[in-house]
Amino acid sequence: MKEYTSLTVRLNTKDKESLIGFSIRLAQANGLFSLKDLFSPSQINCFSKGSLSEIDYYWLRNILKKEVTYTNTQQKLFNHPLYKFNRLTNPKVCIQCLKERHIHQDHWQNIHKLKCDIHHTQLITQCHSCKAPLEWGFPLLIGRCTNTRCLQPLVEMTLSIPPNISPQEIDDCLLVAQNINSRNEFNPKKSSHCELKDFNQALLMGYKALNDKKVFQSEIIEPLITHRVNQSAYPAKVKLLKLSQIISQLQSDWPISRWLSAIYQKRVSNQKGNCECPPLVIQARLIRETCDLTHTDLKALHQAKILKYNNYNKNNYPQTTLDISPLFQSLVSSSQSTSSSLKSLEELKPEFECYRTPMHALIIAMLKAKIRFYYHLKMDLMSSLLVDKHELIKFCKSWLQTHDETKLSLDDFVKVFDVDDEAFRDIKMSLGINAKYHPTSVSIYKRLAESINLSLNYI
């Protein structure tokens, strides 16, 4: 850390100015030769991430002799495996804004921000003349290249990317670009910030790879098949995948779903001519929780060759893992089914009455492409499986009328039959303290309902 105790010139921060941009102006106003004359490399790195440590805070306040406040506006990305924060550490700028105000705006560093809100021009990350990536330095604020051998005025550039590209699509492009640039074994690790030197070029590279069939095959699929990419790293193992994550990917129209499906639809042939599908491992406990299935249901799906045990541990079942690649392939084909083949739940009932629970039947219906489905990570299956919730409730009521051995949680029972609060309390008291955690058969619910004069409406 530089041991400055005061500065001759003190500046006020400007509206929307980034911390690193303010630091450049401060060093320049005090006649220093570079940003490094005022700040240590660790501080420059810290400021580029938009964060201010407690030590930096008191030190900066001391040299400016005034209160300094900076808020960190970074937002978390919950679905993307690469970056914890959606902030680029290398410069991204609007040339027109730099010419007009000579300040670097903080929101430009958001990796999902591709254009200037005012001028609607492309935010640039490299010099048009020498092709060098931009760096933090004095020339940047006057719209010039930061390469000391160039220093030419920056020129507006445009990318061949649709203007309405979504944040998730941008994340996918960056992921694929990292895959291509790795060359050897691709094993992405979750980093705090996006530290690409030339963000726009990486974005364009990933976009082309996902949308050009030849590039997609040569740069994405072939490396996976020839094991140049670590198949256990992504997507087969970002720790352990939840089924809901797989389903949500399959329902997407973005090419990342094509990437996932291609990996598992492509067969790897060995010298003997046998074909294998790369395994997709998941804990048995997770698939039970996600799909609301019992141990018996899993056995039935295993017998139907939809699931296969990867590591069956009879003495410690929670540690048992399953290979769900057959399920994945079934869902891939299901997600591509035409709307003409979809049926209503009422039409489905005769076909699937043989299954133990309505939930089990619905999973089978999904796999056989009989119904349109979606899944939300934070909801249970009954709440989020089907678009038409009323139709789902109607289906469950009709099912339970002839299947009173079916076990339901108290919450699901209340949800299906729309039980009022008073009846809910009476039934809960009769079932005991563990009612919330132990499913009870519908026949017992019927008997308790009769004892409190509660009529269950099956219509």
Range of the domain at 444: 389-459
- Which one, of 59, 61, 39, lies nearest residue 48 by Cα? 39
Contact 18, 50 (CB under 8 A): yes
Taking only the tens place, the pLDDT of each residue in 99-111 is 998 889 988 988 8
For the chain, first and last CA: distance in Å? 74
Looking at the fold, whether 289 and 403 belong to one and the same domain comes out as: no
Kindly give the parts of the chain with pLDDT less than 70.
1-6, 51-82, 182-190, 213-214, 216-283, 286-293, 304, 306, 310-319, 324-396, 398-399, 403, 433-438, 459
Q: Determine the Cα–Cα distance for residues 264 and 154; give it in Å rounded to an integer.
A: 45
pLDDT of residue 236: 32
Q: Determine the Cα–Cα distance for residues 1 and 124; give it in Å rounded to an integer.
A: 31
Q: Which of 338, 370, 402 is the last residue of a domain?
A: 370
pLDDT of residue 61: 66
Looking at the fold, whether 280 and 394 belong to one and the same domain comes out as: no
Q: Which of 343, 370, 397 is the last residue of a domain?
A: 370
**Six token digits for residue 68:** 């300094």
In a domain, 332, yes or no: yes
Name residue 446's beta-bridge partners: none
Q: Determine the Cα–Cα distance for residues 348 and 362; give it in Å rounded to an integer.
A: 9
Looking at the fold, whether 291 and 404 belong to one and the same domain comes out as: no
pLDDT of residue 124: 92
What residues contact 315, with CB distance under 8 A and at least 6 apart?
none
Looking at the fold, whether 348 and 416 belong to one and the same domain comes out as: no
Looking at the fold, whether 239 and 320 belong to one and the same domain comes out as: yes
Looking at the fold, whether 431 and 366 belong to one and the same domain comes out as: no
Q: Which helix (H) or strand (E) holds 276?
A: strand 275-276
Looking at the fold, whether 411 and 448 belong to one and the same domain comes out as: yes
User: Into how many domains does the chain fold?
Assistant: 2
Looking at the fold, whether 243 and 366 belong to one and the same domain comes out as: yes
Q: What is the DSSP string of 117-144?
A: TTT-PBPB-B-TTT-PBP-SSGGGGGTB
Looking at the fold, whether 332 and 394 belong to one and the same domain comes out as: no
In a domain, 13, yes or no: no
In a domain, 315, yes or no: yes
Looking at the fold, whether 239 and 366 belong to one and the same domain comes out as: yes
Taking only the tens place, the pLDDT of each residue in 289-344 is 555 567 777 777 777 676 777 666 666 666 677 776 665 555 444 444 433 344 55
Q: Which of 370, 405, 440 is the last residue of a domain?
A: 370
In a domain, 453, yes or no: yes
Sign of CA dihedral 386, 239, 75, 145: negative
Provide the b/e sequence for 416-428 (b: ≥16 CB within 10 Å).
bbebeeebeebbe
- Which one, of 73, 70, 99, 104, lies nearest residue 86 by Cα? 73
pLDDT of residue 338: 35
- Which one, of 264, 235, 373, lies nearest residue 325 by Cα? 264
Q: Is the backbone peptide bond immediately before 153 cis, with ω within 30 degrees of 0?
A: no
Helix, strand, coil percentages for the chain (3-state, nearest 5): 45, 10, 45
pLDDT of residue 286: 61
Q: What is the DSSP string of 337-396?
A: --GGG---HHHHHHHHTTSSSHHHHHHHHHHTT-S-----TTS-HHHHS-S-HHHHHHHH
Q: Determine the Cα–Cα distance for residues 91 and 88; give it in Å rounded to an integer.
A: 7
In a domain, 122, yes or no: no
pLDDT of residue 273: 41
- Count of residues for the chain? 459
Q: What is the pTM of this model?
A: 0.51
